[in-house]
Amino acid sequence: MIELVNVNRCYGIDDSLIYALRDVDLTIAAGKSVAILGRSGSGKSTLLNIMGCLDQVTSGSYLLDGDDIANLDDDELSALRLQSFGFIFQSFHLISQLNVVENIELPLYYLGVEAKEARQRAKRLAAVMGLDDRCAHRPSQLSGGQQQRVAIARALVNDPPILLADEPTGNLDATTGQQILAILHDLTGQGKTVITVTHDQAIAATMDQRLYMLDGSIVDIEEGA
């Protein structure tokens, strides 16, 4: 599903170039859970952003289902992000003025889904996430774990095949973090590809594949949960 070939991402010009990614080769099969590990500044989030088409490579190739992302224009990239990816962030990124259901259904607005259908899909996902009694609440009225479940529901509402999570349990207590991790593993069991940036070795140990990064390069890959 995902293939990166000799990918570099650098910033600056000429002698002041800084490499965020350097000579990255990577293949991720559909339906796998993957952890990306490494110290701060090692390139983890840059790699996630490249895979999610939030950033573009400086050189090399990124193939998604065999298609070279470099051949897509801005409108095509936007459509690809909406249709193929769900994004889950450590800081949730919920809109404070919207309630739970309105936050969940937001991606469907940009996809042009009819309002009644969008509301029904959002309510179904809220119930799946155990939030059916919180649908009218705003983010400030929810716990951290509840906010993260809203964020996961929002990432799932367009039924994307790939979920990208950047430290999704980083702001949560251990028990709530385990609940979120269980949700992510359930999604892998449903055939979705889940790629998670994490500092937590215990979380990484439960994933199908672990990528270890250092100074913008993948220095080791481990297989097997």
Which residues on neighbouring strands pair with residue 36, listed in sequence order? 197, 211
**pTM of the predicted structure, to 2 decimals:** 0.91
184: Cα separation from own chain's centroid: 11
Q: What's the number of domains the chain is made of?
A: 1
Q: Which has more confidence, 7 or 89?
A: 7
- Report the CATH number at residue 87: 3.40.50.300
Give domain status of residue 101, yes or no. yes
Give domain status of residue 138, yes or no. yes
Give domain status of residue 146, yes or no. yes
Which residues on neighbouring strands pair with residue 217, listed in sequence order? 214
User: How do residues 2-61 score in pLDDT, each as one tens digit?
Assistant: 999 999 999 987 777 899 999 999 999 999 999 999 999 999 999 999 999 999 999 999
Give residue 86's domain range. Answer: 31-40+74-223
Give domain status of residue 3, yes or no. no
**Coil vs helix vs strand at 16:** helix
